[in-house]
Amino acid sequence: MDQEQTVVTESIFPKYTLNEEQERKEILRHYRALLRNLRTKLKPRDKELVRTAFEMSAEAHKTMRRKSGEPYILHPLAVANICVEEIGLGVRSSICALLHDTVEDTDITLEDVEREFGNEIARIVDGLTKISSVIDTNTSQQAENFKKILLTLTDDPRVILIKLADRLHNMRTMDFMKREKQLKISSETVWVYAPLAHRMGLYNIKTELEDLAMKYMEPEAYRDIARRLAETKRERSRYINEFIKPIKDKLDTSGFDFEIYGRPKSIHSIWNKIKKKGVSFDEVYDLFAIRVILNSPPEKEKEECWKVYSMITDEYTPSPERLRDWLSNPKSNGYEALHTTVMGPQGRWVEVQIRTKRMNEIAEKGLAAHYKYKEGSSSEDRFDKWFGQIREVISSQDTDSVDFLQDFKTSFLAEEIYVYTPKGDVKMLPIGSTALDFAFSIHSAIGSKCIGAKVNHKLVPISHKLRSGDQIQIISSNKQKPTEDWLNYVVTAKAKSKIKDALKEEKRRIADDGKYIVQKKLEGMGAGFNQHNIDELVNFYKVPSQLDLFYNVAVKQTDLKELKEFNVLGDKLEAPKPVKPVVEVKTETENKSVASKKESELIIFGESSDKIMYNLAKCCNPIPGDAVFGFVTTGKGLTIHRTNCPNAAQMMANYGHRVVKTKWAKNKEISFLTGLKIVGIDDVGVINKITNVISGEMKVNISALTIESGEGIFEGTVKVFVHDKEELDELTNRLKLLNGIQSVSRFDTEEDK
């Protein structure tokens, strides 16, 4: 080992200054760590290949630095270590990780990689290079590239696993980036990469990605929950020990080989619970889950998990609707476990997860572990089915719009339900799927002719939403045809794609009649039926394409009598005024939006608001003091959103190039409308106390006030005009101090509410 490290040292780092000497040692420390992690997987010649990849990458990146100032080579080394240590990948994947940025960022070509390491590694590096180009391009291009990624994913899943390792390291080391870049990358992570990690079975990575994204998108909430978790750690440990003791005794008595421990829930999942259920941190009971991991032989896994479940539910009362049986029906990403929620000591609900060592490795290492245990298991078939479905949808889709990304999320990254055909075959569909989705999942011809279904022997419409365990029989008719409405009834990408294809085909068929009518009309006027004249008519009637022109003529939406306004010159038709091609106009607009972004890198509201046209987003109603970003909207200038706006993640991930860094300036002259929700004990004069604080003490104008009371509790909403977030926070704190007030929280208001 020492001899090899000396060779590596001399070949890459000839002579170094003191500071460079420290960097050299740091780089070699990471390289040695990689070799240590790979130790059990190295075959003859593998060490030499890894060293070649490391030297190649170090040489290619030697002049490059990261934003933090450290040598760039530390990034590929870190990604390779994540691949091996945290995902469980092997030698080839670590070579690809070392080279993942070389083709895009340095002089090394794909041919160089193929010559040195062969076709397989070159193909994976090519897939990783395509993924990098997803970022910072226009939206349709982004979706197009995303399709390429997914095609490579189904061809070789290692591409996406290495990309997830790359994204995880970037998220861990994002402190030195500009704020707007942090927001964009975090949004993209939450929107695409965390769900993808979840779907690949990498729960630890999914959790860390979500937590890191929240650290940048919701810094205050993140810090607050992290602080509270640290403060309650001792009390939580005491409770976990109290909960575990009787179960541990039972398992010991029964002779099980097991581990049992409490695992804290992620900051992101606690925050989601606080938001969804409208509760405070103190009211979130399931801040942790208890995990029981059994060392069971494969043939006894199921039986022993259920035995442990029986022992736990003998000790603590379970909640029947919270039982999740992923032993009988594993998820398509291979996840197997039993989850239940029981009533623990002190009347607190506690989630318990029961799984074996094999299941636990699959839960933590996902796809990589799944292939390790793949000896003909049915869960392997499920993964392959999932890949097959993705491949089918991508290859048949011709759309290049961002809808593709949305369809992909709802179809392939959502949790699944399990439904049955009349013969008892299992079909996996995303949550929210309808009878029509099921029909298309069987065959596109059956979907296109579907007129209804029988679910559990009851007749239902095609829009009926399915639930796990349903058995479905499709009713079809040869007279049925897909309509525009059908797109509202389906969630799967396959169904949407096939419906759009059918609608286009129908439109083309009708348009053929219109084409004939236009041809006759032009020839009757002495003009030729040629491309130039058709383009002139498309511009004259202001329709998107010639297909739309012919279709509108056929369905009598467009009247050809207006063609008299044209002048006929020979066999050429001349429009009243020259029309610029649509492409030019589009490019111009795009250039303008990019230019305005560069000119106004930092917009200060208040002082410079007269110079820039902007409006406040109705979806989140920002007020001065909120963390905000600007979003360039065509024709409307800049729209200002809060960074925690419900639409922020989607906008930043899909339209990152339109996001502009923004900041508030102090301006006490302008007031902004916002809303507060107040809950408390119903008492005489409660309205008087509330209005006295708002109007009397704080001198804040009230726009509207509604109070509803019942059973001794009142709920009120008040819309007020405040100058900034400081004033709103001050008002919220004063209201909380009133006797009988339980909670005061902000809600997003719209002027038309």
Q: Which residues are catalytic?
A: 104-105
Tokens for 663? 């900041």
Cβ–Cβ < 8 Å for 161, 200: yes
Q: Kindly list the distances between the CA atom of residue 285 and the CA atoms of 239, 352, 679, in Å, as whole numbers in the listed order.
A: 12, 13, 21
Tokens for 25? 């040692």
Cα 295 to Cα 257: distance, rounded to the nearest angstrom: 5
Q: Are strands 324-325 and 338-344 parallel, antiparallel or unpaired?
A: antiparallel
Q: How many residues does the chain have?
A: 753
> Going by C-beta distance under 8 Å and a sequence separation of 6 or more, which residues neighbour residue 190?
209, 210, 213, 217, 649, 653
| Residue whose tokens read 């670590």 | 94
Cα 365 to Cα 260: distance, rounded to the nearest angstrom: 20
Q: For every residue of 544-599, which 3-state class applies, written as one string?
A: CCHHHHHHHHHCCCCCHHHHHHCEEECCEEECCCCCCCHHHHHHHHHHHHHHHHHH
Cα 597 to Cα 592: distance, rounded to the nearest angstrom: 9
Q: Got the DSSP string for 57-111?
A: HHHHTTT-B-TTSSBTTHHHHHHHHHHHHTS---HHHHHHHHHTTHHHHSS--HH
Cα 185 to Cα 213: distance, rounded to the nearest angstrom: 8
Cα 163 to Cα 182: distance, rounded to the nearest angstrom: 18
* Residue type for position 302: K
Q: Kindly list the distances between the CA atom of residue 664 and the CA atoms of 602, 630, 748, in Å, as whole numbers in the listed order.
A: 10, 11, 19
Cβ–Cβ < 8 Å for 511, 550: yes
Task: Please write down the long-range contacts of 372-375, taking CB distance under 8 Å and 24 or more positions apart.
Answer: 372/88
98: closest CA among 63, 32, 52, 40? Answer: 52
Cα 182 to Cα 219: distance, rounded to the nearest angstrom: 12
Cβ–Cβ < 8 Å for 92, 371: no
> Going by C-beta distance under 8 Å and a sequence separation of 6 or more, which residues neighbour residue 667?
605, 606, 607, 609, 624, 723
Tokens for 200? 């690949």
Cα 529 to Cα 454: distance, rounded to the nearest angstrom: 52
Cβ–Cβ < 8 Å for 697, 734: yes
* Residue type for position 236: R
Q: Kindly list the distances between the CA atom of residue 235 and the CA atoms of 230, 238, 240, 492, in Å, as whole numbers in the listed order.
A: 10, 5, 9, 45
689: closest CA among 745, 738, 727? Answer: 738
Cα 67 to Cα 64: distance, rounded to the nearest angstrom: 10
Cα 423 to Cα 416: distance, rounded to the nearest angstrom: 20
Cα 194 to Cα 630: distance, rounded to the nearest angstrom: 25
* Half-sphere exposure of residue 292: CA atoms within 13 angstroms, side-chain side: 30
> Going by C-beta distance under 8 Å and a sequence separation of 6 or more, which residues neighbour residue 572?
527, 528, 532, 533
